[in-house]
Amino acid sequence: MKITAISNPKVQYWLTLKKPDVRKEGRLFLLEGEKLIKEAHALNLIETLIYYETLPTALAQVKEIYQVDYKVISKLSSLTSAPNLIAVCKIPDYQVKYPEVILALDGVQDPGNGGSIMRSALGFGVKHLLLSETSFDPYNDKFIRATMGAFFKVNVERLNLVSKLIELKKAGYKIITTSALGNTQIKTAIVKEKLVIVLGAEGQGISSEINALSDFEINIKINPELESLNVSAAAAILLYEIMKIRGVSYD
């Protein structure tokens, strides 16, 4: 039952998963790359496996498997050189206990920056990422690629960030924001509190509603010749510094 036509209804359905609204509605997305697909399989998230040439034995138990020809896999893939495997993958439900430190992004739109930020978060032990609805879609292929394998190791939720921050404050979290006007030094904030570190888009910064929730406005002092750091650079510095102060160490 090799599928050879792009007009095949299955293929047409899979292609709809390139649209953010369809992904959100169906809680499904397309995942490329054998390593990530195996990670998703271990988490029981693979719904359908689509392959072109070879089916890895480790994935042979997936319940829906289709072989397709090169034309079809190329059309499904977002890469210039199509992979052997693509999966229809479930968007995880995170019914987790929130960790002590959470990272949140408000209005960050570039998925490349997003991927770099998720890597820095994992690198310094922060495993939960909240995204405002004005931020990039975390099931976008560019983001997934930019995470370079961090993707399934950090929980990610895209939601009404203001409501979530209010809820987390009630649960005892302190909100840290960055601001060129702030005068809190990183150190004074942050030893034992439960924290949400919120970063905004360069240029606009953090929305006023979220600013009003901030407990600590941190200013990473920079040369006045520069307007602002790239958001992923600011994230890296904050995560590194805060987690070091909290004694999280990978020595």
Picking from 26, 42, 22, the residue whose alpha carbon sits closest to that of residue 34 is 42
Tokens read off for 39: 């990670």
CB of 125 to its own copies, least distance (A): 5
CB of 117 to its own copies, least distance (A): 8
Single out the segment in contact with its own copies by CB under 8 A; choices: 7-15, 72-80, 147-155, 210-218. 147-155
Contact 46, 87 (CB under 8 A): yes
Q: Does 40 bind its own copies (CB under 8 A)?
A: no
Contact 197, 103 (CB under 8 A): yes
Among 120, 140, 177, 214, binds its own copies (CB under 8 A): 120
Contact 174, 196 (CB under 8 A): yes
Site for its own copies in 199-218 (CB under 8 A): 202
In the complex with its own copies, the residue whose CB is nearer, 67 or 179, is 179
Q: Does 230 bind its own copies (CB under 8 A)?
A: yes
Contact 145, 115 (CB under 8 A): yes
Among 29, 52, 124, 216, binds its own copies (CB under 8 A): 124
In the complex with its own copies, the residue whose CB is nearer, 12 or 230, is 230
Q: Does 99 bind its own copies (CB under 8 A)?
A: no
CB of 220 to its own copies, least distance (A): 7
Tokens read off for 24: 């959100």
Torsion of CA 141, 146, 149, 151, to 10 degrees: -60
Tokens read off for 82: 């199509």
Tokens read off for 66: 């289709």
Which residue ranges make up the site for its own copies (CB under 8 A)?
112, 115-116, 119-120, 122-125, 148-150, 153, 202, 220-230, 232-237, 240-241, 249-251
